[in-house]
Structure 1
Amino acid sequence: MGHVWNGVVVRRRMAIGATTAALLAVSACGGDSTQSGDDDQVTLRFSWWGNDDRARITEQAIDAFEAEHPNITVEGEPLDFEGYFDRLATSVAARDAPDVITLGGAYPREYGDRGALLDLSTVAEQLPTDGIDPAALSNGFFSDVQYSIPTGVNTYCVVLNPEVFEAAGVPLPDDTTWTWDDFVDIAQQISDNSPEGTFGAADPTSADTLDLYARQQTDSGLYTEDGGVALEPATAEAWWAMTTAMSASGATPPATITAELGGQPSPEQTLMGRGLAGMQFDWSNQLTALRTASGAPLELMRAPGESSGVAPGMWLQASQSYGIYSGSEHPEEAAMLIDFLVNSEEAASFILADRGLPANAEVLEAITPQLDEHTTAQAEFIAEIAGDVNPDLIIGPTGSTETRSIVMRLNDEVLFDRMPVEQAATSLVDQIEAAIG
């Protein structure tokens, strides 16, 4: 069925609405890739989410791939993010999934655990991964199987406003050596020497900072390899003891402001985007939007505690990832398409950083001259820290997507002094266990 997407004809198949529960019906058999009358001709289906611009540049990369492989036709299946995973759940349950599937977050593990994704070691000849950063590859590796390949990467780090530091007379930290005590002290100095309403740091609590902090303290993040909870109540208790003290002293905002900013505010709504914070934890790929919103020359820095903990806490996060449907009739050709998308400088010349900065160092170096100054700053930061991040990322199991909201609810409880930090820490672990159970 033809579909026009921003002037590009995109071939798509229609699917009926779905629920996540439909995943339970997954079977590895079947698959609905089409093949022409000529046995040498192969048609692949490739699904992704995104806007018109993403569809346009993806189609350009597909055209380049088809030019190299005249016997392969790729049918693109783009969809808005809101409906993408419902559509995918339906197609997987109906054994009609695309050959190449774009995934994100915990979905590689969720679909891999249910048998919907191909073990990529079976197509290693067509999809070499030696050029991709091992820390980035770990995003799609679990149960001793590589189920997905990162489209690109970013990292969770500290965004810093040097203008706020300068106005407060506070020197910038050395992010190769600073500790959490340094972070607290610097935030306090900035707040003490800034106009009312400007803070040393936005409240740092999130599922991502807890994951990072836990790895530094115990060499384990939130989850275990077998899908359990690794976070210890004592670690969460120490974290909240630090952050509640910062809020009480004014180093970070009062509970009312933090609660108003709960969830995932747009960059222009954050304290950093409004020029009202010296430091804020965020994803490196938010730098462009935060710089634009604030009008300030914001910088990226390593998280505190990276050099003083038992292990690094930072990691390279797959912005998205590509997997192959286990029921695909053409797994080798699907692997060739993914190889082209992630390891080819030609494909990257169209896609650039739209799906994250390339995890292949040679590809990243090749496209860096084409990037704008903000994305170049992100690329330089990723290149700087790549050798120092923790390679042992464990993707959360099914149900772990609830962790983010659990953390935010309990954070409100402790900041508003409605729950002792000890009780909140125990409750956090209990609630995460219930969510993934």
Structure 2
Amino acid sequence: MRTSRGLAALCLAGVMLAASACGGSSGGADDGTVELRFGWWGNNDRAAATQKVIDAFQAKNPGIKVKGSFTDFNSYFDRLATEVAGGRAPDVITLGGAYPREYGDRGALLDLAKVSGVLKTDKIGAAALDNGKFGGVQYGVPTGVNAISVVVNPAVFDKAGVKLPEEDTWTWDDFKRIARELATKLPKGTFAVADPTRTDMLDVYARQRGEALYTADGKVGITEKTLVDWWMMTRELRDAGATPPASQTAELITQPAPEQSLMGSGLAAMQFDWSNQLTALSKAAGQPLRLVRVPGESGGTQPGMWLQASQIYSINAKSEHPQEAAKFVDFLVNSPDAGKIILADRGIPANSDVRTAIQSVLGEHEKAQAEFIDTLTPKAGPPLVIGPAGSTDTPKILDRVNAEVLFDRQQPSEAAAEFVKQVGAAIQE
């Protein structure tokens, strides 16, 4: 996940939340209707589907009105940090990655045990549910399950006359070889792969070596050697023209929508991304795309890929209407009616009954995602170690340090040391 510049402001959030206990997150109309606010990130297609879900919920619950609010991924967490610090966060908050732990530890999220009579989780597997549980407290429930993957455009491979990778056996050396071969055969402006440097890929790469981005006791777990090897590889790809030049990569970071990506524009053969992005990327590209496992899974110390909650729904600890908020979250994750609208946009549904209910109405891309998750499940590595408080700064740190490498302002060894130092400071190691 790419994260907020503003989250550092949460260092004061504990005090500010206490001072904001009046809780301006929601309200009520003169006729007694309860009004809830629901915050999430996404694009216009997700917005349209989400509004249909809200409409379906309101039809079944005429006494509750839900106001949805969304922005793009890069802006979402900046805005949320400001809202939380000012006591103005939505009643129902969408989170992911380390954010449930970050906000939960700061007292911003409701302990869902307090609304367990309304919000049921018995049909959601423990592996998915634990993505929202920290210190024995359930702070959120998963929308669905997905996994990091390589999204492949077979048409670009065919155009270059290059064979698709053997996903069960390909190594990182195979990946580099295929990327270099593509680079020599693709037209100018089309690339083998978008720059793969992102926190989830560092975690995969490190886990394959028996490491992880973080240790279970809240320290930096990835070694400088692993980081150096990673950046040596990405510089090699850049120099071969397999990835875009540094200036284009820097620009792409600011354009997170699927249609703005190289893959969504039909200008990349491969892109590392989450499996639930297949539908949006395929629609943007106007071509059928495929999901394959990341390189190095069969030859590492252990598999690096893991099953992860796509997103997490949490409830504002200061909500004036926690029971009604819980009722809405229950509808989002447990209702087949909601599932038939959302389908796999927020991951393959975590609720087993919802998965069964939507199977017959899944489109080609959603079925491909479900098959990918089903195939991966017995091959996946151990659960991910969720980063400690402060780790939500890591993606921004990585973007800055990666730019130093790609623009040749730092050598990989210097960047590795700087990354470890800055992340260690962010998590107060």
- TM-score category (smaller protein): 0.7 to 0.9
2:55 is matched by which residue type in structure 1? Answer: Q
1:348-402 Cα distance to aligned partner (Å, 9 max, x none): 2344345443122331232133343333333332333244334522333444333
Q: Which residue of 2 aligns with 1:315?
A: 306
SS in 1 for 2:214: coil
Residue 146 of structure 1, aligned match among 138, 142, 157: 138
Residue 102 of structure 2, aligned match among 100, 110, 118: 110
Q: Which residue of 1 aligns with 2:196?
A: 204
1:296-329 Cα distance to aligned partner (Å, 9 max, x none): 3211111112222233322344343222344567
Instruction: Using structure 2 for the length normalisation, give the TM-score.
Output: 0.80
Quick check: 1:423 aligned with 2:418?
Answer: no
CA distance in structure 1 between the partners assigned to 2:356 and 2:118 by the alignment: 23
CA contact (8 A) 1:136 1:153 kept: yes
CA distance in structure 2 between the partners assigned to 1:252 and 1:55 by the alignment: 35
Bigger Rg over Cα: 1
Residue 277 of structure 1, aligned match among 268, 274, 289: 268
CA distance in structure 1 between the partners assigned to 2:371 and 2:334 by the alignment: 19
SS in 2 for 1:215: helix
Q: Which residue of 2 aligns with 1:66?
A: 61
Quick check: 1:168 aligned with 2:160?
Answer: yes
Unaligned 5+ runs, structure 2: 1-8
CA distance in structure 2 between the partners assigned to 1:183 and 1:315 by the alignment: 20
CA distance in structure 2 between the partners assigned to 1:60 and 1:296 by the alignment: 32
Paired residues, number = 410
Quick check: 1:188 aligned with 2:180?
Answer: yes
1:343 is matched by which residue type in structure 2? Answer: N
CA contact (8 A) 1:139 1:394 kept: no
Q: CA deviation at 1:342?
A: 0.9
Q: CA deviation at 1:105?
A: 4.5
Tell me whether 172-181 or 80-89 shows the greater mean CA deviation: 80-89
Distance 1:430 1:121, change over 3 A: same
Distance 1:413 1:85, change over 3 A: closer
CA distance in structure 1 between the partners assigned to 2:177 and 2:268 by the alignment: 14
Q: What fraction of aligned residue pairs are identical, expressed as a percent?
A: 54
CA distance in structure 2 between the partners assigned to 1:372 and 1:85 by the alignment: 31
CA distance in structure 2 between the partners assigned to 1:170 and 1:232 by the alignment: 34
Quick check: 1:396 aligned with 2:391?
Answer: no
Q: CA deviation at 1:427?
A: 0.7
2:143 is matched by which residue type in structure 1? Answer: T
Distance 1:326 1:409, change over 3 A: closer
SS in 2 for 1:243: helix
Residue 343 of structure 1, aligned match among 323, 334, 337: 334
CA contact (8 A) 2:101 2:134 kept: yes
2:171 is matched by which residue type in structure 1? Answer: T
Quick check: 1:379 aligned with 2:370?
Answer: yes
1:158-190 Cα distance to aligned partner (Å, 9 max, x none): 011112222333222221222212211221222
CA distance in structure 2 between the partners assigned to 1:115 and 1:211 by the alignment: 28
Q: Which residue of 2 aligns with 1:11?
A: none
SS in 2 for 1:177: coil
Unaligned 5+ runs, structure 1: 1-18, 68-72
Quick check: 1:78 aligned with 2:77?
Answer: no
SS in 1 for 2:220: coil
Distance 1:274 1:55, change over 3 A: closer
2:67 is matched by which residue type in structure 1? Answer: E
CA contact (8 A) 1:143 1:225 kept: no
